[in-house]
Structure 1
């Protein structure tokens, strides 16, 4: 038996189970010898053992379900760990590629600065040429007068 504090508790528990097991119709239909059979000590002990057996079976089933739930959680945690590991590797590769792109940009930045400088100089030259062209037209107009 699982846990029995004393024989009196066992007998009381068995009687409680026995009488609660029967509904009111069953107690009305009991014959006197059946009623005394229910009070028989061996019968009470048998009922107690059966109830303890059922309790043990129920507890084992609950523990089995709990163990299965824990195994499922363990499996889910393992899969999650693997997914995060894959994501970590992917993010490291992306960071490496971004670093390469940054280095390439830094190298091109010098050329872009030079191109911008040349562009600004060409704009200044164009403005100077326009100013010289206007001045030459102005001089032509003075000479032709």
Structure 2
């Protein structure tokens, strides 16, 4: 365990995807056992299985170029990037790059060697407090443009 300049306890955790293509270190202050992990039931958090903590950018170290290799997805609000491994598909977390201060939401499910049952959770009812953002239309869209493909009739 280390301490910050303000003598707050902190701890660094190793994390990554299932296949090892994405790896990172996250320093949390206070350490994980003292934090409340956010468990949101909004459409994307539920589908991605997010259990989030929110370290500032400077407390996240991406290893071996993982920050440039991580896949990014923005749903219809286009306000944040949902990060995932482009090889194994594991959800890493959220990049709140359009907000200030700049924080990540990193899913503790990707932390190495932690007991999820031993953590403290804070429930957030995003399903009812946030505007619906999921597209249930089933329409096919071009991944590059977000537009429906032209039909070849």
Q: TM-score range by the shorter chain?
A: under 0.3
Structure with bigger strand share is: 2
Greater relative contact order structure (CA < 8 Å, 6+ sep): 2
Q: Which has the larger radius of gyration?
A: 1
* TM-score, length of structure 1 as denominator length: 0.19
